[in-house]
Every structure is written in C-alpha cells, then in structure tokens.
Amino acid sequence: MATVVWAAPDIAPLGSYTAVERRHWAFQPRKDVAPPVFDDAAAKAWIRTPVDAFVLAGLRKAELAPAPEADRATLIRRVTFNLHGLPPTPEEIAAFVADKRPDAYEKLVDRLLDSPRYGEQWARHWLDVVRFAESDGYEYDTHRPDAFRFRDYVIASFNSDKPYDVFLKEQLAGDEIDPKNDTLLVASGFNRLGPLRKNAGNQDVASSRTEVLTEMANIVGAGMLGMTMGCARCHDHKFDPIRQSDYYRLQGYFAQTQANDVIIASAEEQAKYKATMEPLENEMRKLRFSMRKASEEDKGKILTRLEEIDGQIPLPLTAMYAVKNDPKEMTPIHMLQRGDYRNRGAAVGMRPPGILLPDGAEELPLATEKPRTRLAEWITTAENPLTARVMVNRIWGFHFGRPIVTTPNDFGKMGTRPSHPELLDWLGNEYVRQGWKMKPMHRMILLSAAYRQASVSPSEKAFAAKDPDNKWLWKANRRRLEAEEIRDTMLAVSGRLNAKLGGPSVMVQIDPELIKDLKRPQYWVTTRDRTEHDRRTIYMIYKRNLILPFMQVFDSPDTLLSCARRDQSTHAPQALELLNGTVSNDLAIAFAKRLAGAPGERVDMAWRLATGRLPNAKERALSLQYLDDPDPSAMTEFALSLFNSNAFLYVN
C-alpha cells in the first residue's frame, strides 16, 4: 500500500499509472470484433443470432456441444418468467404449443416485451443494483413515503425502452438537465437512495455529510462502472489501480449536491401541515434558546421535551425526492486519512478515475457548473470501456443465469475474467450502436439458439465433468424463482393477483412481534384496502429495518449495499416458510377453491396452473392417491404441496 503523507501537499497529485496497471482487460477499449464464421452445416443450422456464433466457438474449443432446443411448453414458461417474473397461463401455453407459424416464438417474445409486466420484472434487477429502499435505515429508519415514485420511474423507463445512456444521465443529473421536469426530478432521487444516518442528538454535520457523499460516489462505481471505488475511500485500492485521490475526485462531482424535497402536496394539505408544525417549531426554537442559560436540571427537562416534540412531528408532506446543486453549501473535498472526516489531507477537485484518462489529466474545480451532468456524460460516452460492458453483462446474466463476468459489480482484478471476452465486446458495441436500447438486446439474446437450449444435455454426465459450472453454455441453466417471483406466482396461480400498476407501496399485515423490530413501530401502518395486499411484490414496501421474513429466507437483498446477483440458497427456514407461513397457506386456500371437477380434472388443472404442464403418470398417481381422503383439508394441503414442489419453484 502506498504511503500517503498527510501533512502535505495541499493539492493531491494528478497521478500516473503504470503500463501494467493500464493493461487490465476491462480498461481496454472494446475491440471491434465480428462474430466467428463457421463453414460446416451443423454450425450454420444451429446459429440463429450473432451471439450464437460466439457461444458455439466457446463450446467447440472446450469440446462441448449445445443441447437440443427445449420443447415449446418449457420455452414459454422460461421466457415468460424471464421477462415478466410471472408464469404463462395454461391458455397461453396451449396457444403457443399449437402455433405452427415459423415465427411463433418471435411473436411470443415481442408480445412479452410489449407488456408492462416486463418493466416490473426488469426494474427489480436495477433496483437491487442501486439498493433501492423506502426508509433511511439506521436508528429511526424513517419512512420515505414518496420513494415509490423512483420505483415507478424505473419501471416506466424499462417499459418505454429508454436508452441506457439517457437513463443514467437522468438519474445522475435529472435536476441539472431540467429542474422543471417532474420525471427528471424524481430520477435524480437516485443520488439519495443510500441509507441515511440521522440522530436526534448528533450535531456532527461533517460526519453525516461524509457518509452521504460516500453513498453517492460508491454506487456510481459499483453500479455503473463495475469498479469497486468504495475500497479506495480509506487508502489506495489494494488490487486495482484506483488511488485514494481518484475516489475523492469522484466524490467531488457531488460536492454541491444537496437533498431537495420538492413538495407536491395540495394547498389544503400544506395548510394542515403548517398548522401542526408551526406551534411545534416555535416551541422548539424557544426551548433551544432557553437551553443556553439553563441549569443542568432544566437542561434535562428541555431535552426530554424536545424528544417528545420529535415524536409528534407529522409525516412529511407529499414530495418528490430530488437533489439540487447549492454552490453556497459546497463541501470542500479532501482526501481523508482512513476515510475519517476528522483527518483531512490534500484538497481535490472533480475528475473521473485516472486509469481511464491519460496520465496527468487535469481535474475540474468543485465549483464547476452542472457537475453531475459532466460525470454522466463521461460515463455514457460511447468510448467509455466500462459502461456498456457492465450493462450488457448484467443483461446477459439475467437471461442465462450466469453473467459473462460473474462479478457484475467488479470488473477489477478481484473480479472474474470474462468467459467470452469477444462476445462481451461485441454486445457492448452493438448496444451502443443501436442507441443503448435494451429491448433489441433482449430480443437478440432470447431468439438465440443458445437461449433456447434444453436444461438437460444428452451428454449431461460427460459435459458436467468437463464444465461443472456450465460456463460454456452447453445447456440452459435451471433456476429457482426469486422471492418476488415465488409470491407473485402463488398469487397468479390462485387467481388472486391484483395487476394494478404503480403507486404508493403496500404494507401487509404482519406478526406484531416483527413490528417490534422497529425503533419506531408506528411507521408500520397496514394498508387498509385489502385488495392492495394481493399486488405484485415489487409494490410491497422495501423497508431497510424490516425485511419481510418471506423475502429474507429466499435471498432477497438487504437493500443496504448494492446487490448485483442474488444468492440461490437452500435451507430449512425456506421449507418452514412455504409449509407454515401465512403467505403460502392463505394462497393455497384460494388456489384449492379455484380447482373444480372430478379429482382427475382437479389434479390436471392444478398442475397446469402451478407448473405449466400436465403431471406425468407418477405425479398424477401420487396426487390422486393423496386426494383420495375424506379429510376436508386435503385439497388445500395438496395445493400447498404444489407450492412446495420443485416443479413449481424451478424454471427449466
């Protein structure tokens, strides 16, 4: 680790980078690659879209071969979950299986991409990356009742196929682009998504400000650039060529950035709020004034009263959570020894990470106008070697279950190297060339032969021995549904799903003991309209200090740090949740009620709804045998069994 001299200099050096440091693959410009060309008939027959050529080249080099195409029923279930996070209905499956047109699958993909369900599913991935939540975290975990506007902005952006460069610019600098545009103001709330520490007695503004700036800078590094900039907060990065000065120069772009709640409450609401707040504020002002000369005893009483008042402050007025630049309140940015705000080192301005610039590139002063627009423009230039690669890698990963770089937030030395570097570059070039649009990328990937493979290979054992992680894609990866998908699918299958789009987040009824986990339990107010409780999980509240147990056991992220890939763990509490939890049991009752007819018909209907296919002979026999029982709870328990089955929880 390089030693930093903290007494001097006053200005941090602009820095230089060795040839070895610059050689790292991810910092190289994307190569202008063409898909490999094959002469043989087998290859020509298999390849459907350009990505297949890259995949096939990898397979052949590893002496592997692609699996045959999955059957229609498997394919529609896979692609529907992939794009919507919901199962296809039995009717949709039957129609697709029967559709003999040569472009039936293309039509299916287009239909799915055109549905608003697509935005709901893919927004979830982005919200994981940017650690979206609807409360501050820390002690008070204060609610952010208007945070849903950002969630809806992300869903709408995916649904309208907003170009990714625009999407990033709006989030980083929406307020600078047009301070009168509500959508852009909401988008700029991106800069405020991180956890926020507020303390009643903590007067330490400098400390809090450092944390705020840290949150703003870190997410740009991990989420947009795939660089673990956060590691350089305390010292030069141990593995990557990121100097501590690079880190603070990135923070420099946010030196003028302040929170800005743009009130949109009605005049009436504002008046009511003012009427409640004014006396409280007056009293607080008086109390604080009298504190100066108060005795020890009186001071105690004053502080107690101040805390009482704090508890009486009403929920904030309806607002858009935005940011604004306030040059007067600009924070001078210094390198901080061990990241501690009390140990200030050299001052810095703003500049992108030096490894991506020529040696000695100048920094800009902190007072530069529209600083975040500058950052956003640099990030989204076509030549930026990271931005496009990082995003196409995420897209690829969410389609195949395995990204090309398996550490999507870390393209540095500690991250993994790409399995298909040429493919990654080609995808990046293609992404930029067609205007940073997602849907054409989805289409190209989903229509590929690689994507359409079955999840079992005829040479399963031999290939698994050679390539146990399926790095070369010799078959499709089976995946377990994610927490949201499991709940949404149970809702859909039981006929209870409320398909309403957007709007304020829903709080469902939960065990009162769970609410005690909150320092301020009064924040948990069960949504009165019960039909709201059956909405898609993305519309449930994501509260930092109270992750719902159902979500927690199925690997939902904690929303405190960026989550690039969710785990897919298997453990007993999942079984207990699905067997005994209220979510699955309530919906099993609804599911069972939906099933009608003779036992054989009910069994077939249940399987088609829950798993997208008819049961095989053995499954049918087991199901009928179980239902051959006078116990009135047998039907509900059968429905619950299906929710617990692999055929329901996994997608092939």
Partner 1 sequence: MPEHIRFARNRREFLTDCFCGVGALGYASLLGAEKARNPLAPKAPHFPAKAKSMIFLFQAGGPSHLETFDPKPLLNQLHGQKRPDTFGKVEYQNVNQNSRILGTKRTFARYGKSGLEISDLLPHQAQIADDLCVIRSMYGDMVVHSAAQYQMMSGRVIPGFPSMGSWVTYGLGTVSDSLPAYVVMPDPNGAPEAGQPVYTNGFLPAVYQPAMFRAGKRPVLNLEVPKGISMDRRRKTIELIRQLNEANMAEEDAEFAARISAYDTAFKMQTQAPEIFDLSNEPQETLAMYGVGQPDTDDYGRRCLLARRLIEKGVRFVCVVAGGGGAETEWDAHSDIEKNHARMARLTDQPTAALVKDLKRRGLLDETIVLWGGEFGRSPESERGSGRDHHNTGFSMWVAGGGFKGGMAYGATDDIGLKATVNPVHFRDLHATLINQLGLQQDALSYLHQGRRERLTEVHGTILKDLLV
Taking CB under 8 A as the criterion, which residues in 452-511 touch partner 1? 456, 460, 464, 468, 511
Please say which residue, 191 or 406, places its beta carbon nearer to partner 1: 406
Q: Count Cα neighbours of 461 within 13 Å in the Cβ-side half-sphere.
A: 0
Exposure string of 433-470, with b = 16+ CB inside 10 Å and e = fewer, is: eeebbbbebbbbbbbbbbbbbbbebeeeeebeeebeeb
DSSP 339: G
Q: Backbone phi, then psi, for 308, in 5-degree steps?
A: -60, -45
Tokens 């550490």 identify what position?
Answer: 407
Give the C-alpha separation, 481 to 273, whole Å. 44
Sole window of 68-76, 102-110, 366-374, 552-560 interacting with partner 1 (rule: CB under 8 A): 552-560
Binding residues for partner 1 restricted to 388-407, rule: CB under 8 A: 407
Task: State the minimum distance, in angstroms, from the CB of residue 406 to partner 1.
Answer: 11
Kindly tell me which residue out of 103, 178, 204, 329 binds partner 1, with binding defined by CB under 8 A: 204
| 231 versus 473: smaller Cβ distance to partner 1 | 231
Does residue 644 bind partner 1 (CB under 8 A)?
yes
Q: Does 3 bind partner 1 (CB under 8 A)?
A: no
593 binds partner 1 (CB under 8 A): no
Residue 304, Cβ neighbours under 10 Å: how many? 9
Residue 414: Cβ within 10 Å count: 13
User: One symbol per residue from 104 to 143: x for binding partner 1 (CB under 8 A), - otherwise; what is it?
Assistant: ---------------------------------xxx-x--
Number of residues that bind partner 1 (CB under 8 A): 95
32 binds partner 1 (CB under 8 A): no
**Of the candidate residues 6, 567, 597, 600, the single one contacting partner 1 (CB under 8 A):** 567
Q: Does 378 bind partner 1 (CB under 8 A)?
A: no
In angstroms, give the least distance from the CB of 519 to partner 1: 6
Q: Residue 15 has which token pair? A: 């820095």
Per CB under 8 A, 25 contacts partner 1? no
Binding test (CB under 8 A) with partner 1, winner from 69, 99, 211, 430: 211
CB 181 within 8 A of CB 174: yes
Residues 574/553, Cβ–Cβ less than 8 Å: yes
Cβ distance to partner 1 smaller for residue 82 or 228: 228
Helices (DSSP H) in 447-581: which residue ranges? 449-452, 460-466, 483-493, 512-515, 549-553, 572-580
Helices 72-84 & 90-98 angle (0-180, nearest 10)? 130
The verdict on 417 binding partner 1 (CB under 8 A) reads: no
Q: How far is the CB of 636 from partner 1 (least distance, A)?
A: 8
Residue nearer to partner 1 on the CB measure, 82 or 623: 623
DSSP symbol at 510: -
- Closest approach of partner 1 to the CB of residue 514, in Å: 8
Q: How far is the CB of 552 from partner 1 (least distance, A)?
A: 6
From residue 22, alpha-carbon distances to 121, 358, 391, 415, 428 in Å are 37, 10, 22, 16, 20
Q: Name the minimum Å distance from CB 49 to partner 1.
A: 30
49 or 585: CB nearest partner 1? 585
**Spatial separation of the C-alpha atoms in residues 473 and 452, rounded to whole Å:** 11
Helices (H), 147-261: 148-159, 164-177, 182-188, 205-219, 244-252
Of 48 and 299, which CB lies nearer to partner 1 in the complex structure?
A: 299
Closer residue to partner 1 in complex, CB, 188/574: 574
- Nearer to partner 1 (CB atom), residue 51 or residue 476: 476
For tokens 């673990």, the residue is 228
Token couple for 269:
């609401």
Phi, psi of 325 (to 5 degrees): -95, 135
Does 196 bind partner 1 (CB under 8 A)? Our answer is no
- By CB under 8 A, tell whether 560 contacts partner 1: yes
* Contacts of partner 1 in 219-238 (CB under 8 A): 222, 228, 230-231, 237-238
Using CB under 8 A as the binding rule, the residues of this chain from 276 to 335 that contact partner 1 are 296-297, 299-301, 303-304
- In angstroms, rounded to a whole number, what is the distance separating the alpha carbons of residues 560 and 628? 49
The answer to whether residue 240 forms part of the interface with partner 1 (CB under 8 A) is yes
Nearer Cβ to partner 1 (102/468):
468
- Contact between 575 and partner 1 by CB under 8 A: the answer reads yes
Residue 483: partners with Cβ closer than 8 Å, 6 or more residues away:
537, 550, 551, 553, 554, 555, 556
Indicate the DSSP class of residue 568: -
Residue 585 binds partner 1, judged by CB under 8 A: yes
Selected from 28, 160, 199, 343, the binder of partner 1 by CB under 8 A is: 199
Rule CB under 8 A: choose which of 274, 500, 516, 530 binds partner 1.
516
Q: Please report, as a single letter, which amino acid is at residue 629.
A: D
Distance of CA 315 to the CA centre of its chain: 27
Q: Is residue 628 near partner 1 by the rule CB under 8 A?
A: no
CA distance 232 to 4: 13
36 is an interface residue for partner 1 by CB under 8 A: no
Six token digits for residue 341: 């705000």
Residue 630 interacting with partner 1 (CB under 8 A): no
Name every residue whose Cβ is closer than 8 Å to that of residue 204 and which is 6 or more positions away in sequence.
none
Q: How far is the CB of 245 from partner 1 (least distance, A)?
A: 18
Based on CB atoms, which residue is closest to partner 1, 367 or 514? 514
Cβ–Cβ under 8 Å, residues 466 and 62: yes
Stretch binding partner 1 (CB under 8 A), from 66-74, 247-255, 262-270, 628-636: 628-636
**Please, what is the minimum distance in Å from the beta carbon of residue 554 to partner 1?**
7
Q: In terms of CB distance, is 264 or 294 closer to partner 1?
A: 294
CB of 231 to partner 1, least distance (A): 5
- Which one of 25-33, 61-69, 381-389, 575-583 is the stretch in contact with partner 1 (CB under 8 A)? 575-583
Residue 241 binds partner 1 (CB under 8 A): no
User: Scanning the structure block, which residue is given the tokens 């069960």?
Assistant: 526
Using rule CB under 8 A, residue 99 touches partner 1: no
Give yes or no for a contact between 548 and 540, defined as CB atoms under 8 angstroms apart.
Answer: yes
Could you tell me whether strands 650-651 and 257-263 are parallel, antiparallel, or unpaired per DSSP bridges?
A: unpaired
